[in-house]
């Protein structure tokens, strides 16, 4: 567990070191972590856009109303789309129509659960603590992320964002594994891995890499949660057996959790994919992307990703205002999701063979890195 | 008994807010809420981030980096990712001036 004090006296590194790259660098044990520490990249001081304290206090304020409204709407959509799929299933819809209905359901069940998991992991969705906790547990189950492990891995991600060998949540490690990324559009690699981890945790076993960022006093909680999840899976399976139908398995639990991975991957890749690792400026290794209201509802404003990383205590509903306050000091936001992907896809393609490649962003008043 | 150290005028800290105070090589966080003042170590016990940039919500200070929360009255860690309590120090207002009994 890192417990060192961040270095206030070091300049914010904006040029990534030219290291030889391999995928083993990303291992938290035996990877590039020591090299990163030697370069003063671990628990370092990151650039922050200046925001007057009175404005920041206003932006940080919490409330329950908006998240409560959004949560009711979200679950209403899940129920509606689930009912539509179940109707189509029983009505004998053609496979194409059923598939579309299922993709729509999983996009909302699991795809949108990712952003709820994320916001609640920060405790910023609601002002009332138990509401954050409740939604966090539900969203974690839906998106197939063990609550305690991922809370701590996300804390590490914020401490050492895209620091190779320290950040457990690098979505597109280089050199790019195309097959792996394609499989993960349906959670076919990440899903079984997480389910295996649930089983191990339920047996009292915690993975060595996870022990590097989850403190020992939290391990019993991981074990408890895993056992509750296995119980939940057993209940879902029992319902399916009792009903003589696979529908409960398709609508709840790990299957829709994995099937909706394409939706949160679609949004999530815009965050950091193709941008430089091992720099200490979120304006360089994060993207802010302007999105339409539907996408922003599903993604809960995580498209304002530069602002979120720089000021994670600002709740999702205040991120547009924060963006307005700091936009002049950041690289230009992307005009749309499609503009972002026009950059991401060629960058990922290039990183298949050239892991040193990264997208260089222009900051105001400075040269490109 | 440690001497009382003058920090600032009470008016220098807004209500339900926090201010950084450095003294003798140690960083403190000074809080004001409901006309009372409180003091703690200035760094979060999780990753040692300055709490002065955080959010005060009644008697809770939230770390600006990972949203860890502490009770400003006794430094209790209120949940992950903070597990270790904050050290707190006596604080008072004397003639409109905030004073604390510092660590050294």
pLDDT of residue A368: 42
Residue B66: count of CB within 10 angstroms of its CB: 26
Task: Sort residue A252 into left (φ over 0), alpha (ψ -120 to 50) or beta.
Answer: beta
CA dihedral in degrees (A23, A26, A28, A31; nearest 10)?
Answer: 60
Q: Which residues of B touch A60 (CB under 8 A)?
A: 55
Does pLDDT of A237 surpass 60? Answer: yes
Does pLDDT of A177 surpass 70? Answer: yes
Edge-to-edge strand list for the sheet holding B88-89: B17-23, B26-33, B36-41, B88-89
CA dihedral in degrees (A118, A119, A124, A129; nearest 10)?
Answer: -70
**What's B77's DSSP letter?**
B
pLDDT of residue A5: 45
ipTM: 0.88
Please report which confidence band the pLDDT of residue A80 belongs to, taking 50, 70 and 90 as the band edges: very high
**What's A169's DSSP letter?**
T
Does pLDDT of B53 surpass 90? Answer: yes
Per DSSP, what are the bridge partners of residue B50? B43
pLDDT of residue A19: 75
Q: Which residues of A touch B81 (CB under 8 A)?
A: 151-152, 155
Q: Which residues of B touch A43 (CB under 8 A)?
A: 47-48
Q: Which residues of A touch B46 (CB under 8 A)?
A: 155
pLDDT of residue A197: 98
Nearest-CB residue to A313 (from B46, B54, B83): B54
Does pLDDT of B38 surpass 60? Answer: yes
Residue partners of A323: CB distance under 8 A and separation at least 6: A288, A304, A307, A333
pLDDT of residue A13: 60
Does pLDDT of A6 surpass 60? Answer: no
> What value does the mean pLDDT of chain A take?
94
CATH of domain B4-101: 2.102.10.10
Does pLDDT of A282 surpass 90? Answer: yes
Domain ranges of chain B: 4-101
A-B Cβ pairs (cutoff 8 Å, strict): 56
Chain-chain contact of A313 with B67 (C-beta, under 8 angstroms) = yes
* Residue pLDDT, tens place only, A15-49: 787 777 788 999 999 999 999 999 999 999 999 99
Nearest-CB residue to B48 (from A6, A127, A151): A6
Q: Which of residues 11-40 of B touch A (CB under 8 A)?
A: 14, 17
Average pLDDT, stretch A259-271?
98
Average pLDDT, stretch A153-182?
96
B61 to chain A, closest Cα gap in Å = 11
Q: Which two tokens stand for residue A358?
A: 């990264």
B102 to chain A, closest Cα gap in Å = 20
Nearest-CB residue to B55 (from A3, A148, A313): A313
Nearest-CB residue to A155 (from B48, B66, B79): B66
CA atoms of A27 and A342, how far apart (whole Å): 30
CA pseudo-torsion sign A312, A314, A316, A318: negative
> What value does the mean pLDDT of chain B take?
93
Nearest-CB residue to B49 (from A6, A56, A148): A6
Q: Which residues of A touch B17 (CB under 8 A)?
A: 57
Report which secondary-structure segment, H or E, holds B69.
Answer: strand B69-71
B83 touches chain A (CB under 8 A): yes
Please report which confidence band the pLDDT of residue B56 belongs to, taking 50, 70 and 90 as the band edges: very high
A254 or A12: which leads in pLDDT: A254
In a mutational test of the B interface, the residue from A44, A60, A311 whose CB has the highest number of chain B CBs within 10 Å is A60
CA atoms of B100 and B90, how far apart (whole Å): 6
**Cα–Cα nearest to B54, from A160, A124, A65:** A124
pLDDT of residue B1: 74
CA atoms of A310 and A322, how far apart (whole Å): 10
Locate the chain B residue with the closest alpha carbon to A125: B67
Nearest-CB residue to B66 (from A57, A158, A311): A158
Report which secondary-structure segment, H or E, holds A67.
Answer: helix A65-91
pLDDT of residue A32: 94
Average pLDDT, stretch A60-71?
97
Q: Which two tokens stand for residue A272?
A: 């950091």
Chain-chain contact of A155 with B43 (C-beta, under 8 angstroms) = no
Q: Which residues of A279-306 are buried (b: 16+ CB within 10 A; e: fewer)?
A: bbbbbbbbbbbbbeeebbbbbbbbbbbb
Chain-chain contact of A123 with B67 (C-beta, under 8 angstroms) = yes
Nearest-CB residue to A60 (from B43, B55, B81): B55
pLDDT of residue B35: 87
Chain-chain contact of B80 with A148 (C-beta, under 8 angstroms) = yes
CA dihedral in degrees (A299, A301, A307, A312; nearest 10)?
Answer: -80
Find out whether B36 and B69 touch, Cβ atoms under 8 Å.
Answer: no
B57 touches chain A (CB under 8 A): yes
pLDDT of residue A12: 56
Locate the chain B residue with the closest alpha carbon to A123: B67
Average pLDDT, stretch B91-99?
96
Per DSSP, helices labelled H in chain A are 33-38, 53-60, 65-91, 95-106, 112-121, 129-143, 147-159, 178-183, 190-202, 208-211, 219-243, 247-251, 254-259, 261-272, 282-285, 293-299, 305-310, 319-326, 337-353
Find out whether A314 and A124 touch, Cβ atoms under 8 Å.
Answer: yes
* Residue pLDDT, tens place only, B60-91: 999 999 989 999 999 999 987 888 999 999 99
pLDDT of residue A363: 93
What does pTM read for this prediction?
0.93
Chain-chain contact of A313 with B47 (C-beta, under 8 angstroms) = no
pLDDT of residue A73: 98
Chain-chain contact of A312 with B46 (C-beta, under 8 angstroms) = no
Average pLDDT, stretch A215-241?
97
Q: Which residues of B touch A151 (CB under 8 A)?
A: 80-81
CA atoms of A266 and A106, how far apart (whole Å): 13
Does pLDDT of A68 surpass 60? Answer: yes
Find out whether A287 and A275 touch, Cβ atoms under 8 Å.
Answer: yes
Task: Sort residue A279 into left (φ over 0), alpha (ψ -120 to 50) or beta.
Answer: beta
pLDDT of residue A21: 79
Q: Which residues of A touch B13 (CB under 8 A)?
A: none
Please report which confidence band the pLDDT of residue B104 belongs to, taking 50, 70 and 90 as the band edges: low
Edge-to-edge strand list for the sheet holding B97-101: B4-9, B97-101, B91-94
């Amino acid at each position: 567990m890192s417990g060192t004090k961040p270095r206030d006296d070091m300049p914010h590194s904006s040029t990534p070191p030219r290291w030889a790259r391999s995928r083993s660098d990303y291992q938290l044990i035996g990877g590039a972590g020591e090299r990163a520490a030697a370069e003063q990249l671990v628990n370092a001081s990151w650039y922050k856009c200046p925001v007057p304290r009175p404005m920041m206090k206003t932006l940080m304020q919490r409330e329950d109303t908006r998240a409560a409204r959004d949560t009711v709407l979200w679950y209403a959509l899940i129920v509606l789309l689930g009912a539509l799929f179940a109707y189509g299933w029983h009505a004998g819809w053609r496979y194409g129509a059923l598939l579309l209905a299922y993709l729509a359901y999983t996009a909302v069940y699991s795809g949108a659960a990712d952003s709820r998991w994320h916001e609640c992991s920060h405790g910023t969705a609601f002002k009332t603590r138990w509401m954050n906790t409740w939604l966090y547990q539900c969203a974690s189950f839906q998106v197939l992320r063990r609550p305690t492990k991922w809370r701590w891995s996300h804390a590490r991600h914020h401490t050492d964002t895209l620091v190779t060998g320290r950040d457990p949540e690098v979505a597109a490690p280089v050199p790019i594994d195309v097959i792996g990324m394609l499989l993960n559009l349906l959670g076919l690699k990440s899903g079984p891995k997480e389910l295996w981890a649930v089983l191990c945790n339920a047996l009292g076993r915690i993975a060595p890499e996870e022990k590097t960022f989850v403190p020992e006093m939290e391990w019993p909680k991981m074990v408890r949660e895993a056992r509750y999840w296995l119980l939940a899976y057993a209940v879902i399976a029992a319902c399916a057996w009792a009903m003589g139908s696979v529908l409960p398995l398709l609508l709840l639990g790990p299957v829709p959790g994995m099937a909706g991975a394409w939706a949160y991957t679609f949004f999530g890749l815009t965050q950091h994919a193709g941008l430089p690792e091992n720099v200490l400026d979120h304006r360089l290794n994060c993207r802010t992307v302007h999105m339409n209201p539907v996408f922003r509802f599903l993604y809960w404003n995580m498209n304002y990703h530069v602002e979120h990383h720089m000021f994670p205590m600002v709740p999702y509903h205040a991120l547009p205002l924060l963006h307005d306050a700091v936009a002049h000091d950041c690289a230009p936001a992307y005009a749309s999701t499609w503009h972002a992907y026009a950059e991401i896809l060629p960058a990922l393609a290039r990183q298949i063979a050239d892991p040193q490649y990264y997208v260089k962003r222009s900051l105001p008043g400075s040269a490109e890195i | 008994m440690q001497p009382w150290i003058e920090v600032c005028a009470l008016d220098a800290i807004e209500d339900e807010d926090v201010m950084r105070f450095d003294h003798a090589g140690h960083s403190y966080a000074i809080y004001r809420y409901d006309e009372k003042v409180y003091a703690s170590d200035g760094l979060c016990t999780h990753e040692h981030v300055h709490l002065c940039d955080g959010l005060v919500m009644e008697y809770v200070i939230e770390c600006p980096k990972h949203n860890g929360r502490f009770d400003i009255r006794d430094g209790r860690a209120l949940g992950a990712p903070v597990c270790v309590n904050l050290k707190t120090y006596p604080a008072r207002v004397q003639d409109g001036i905030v004073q604390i009994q510092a660590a050294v």
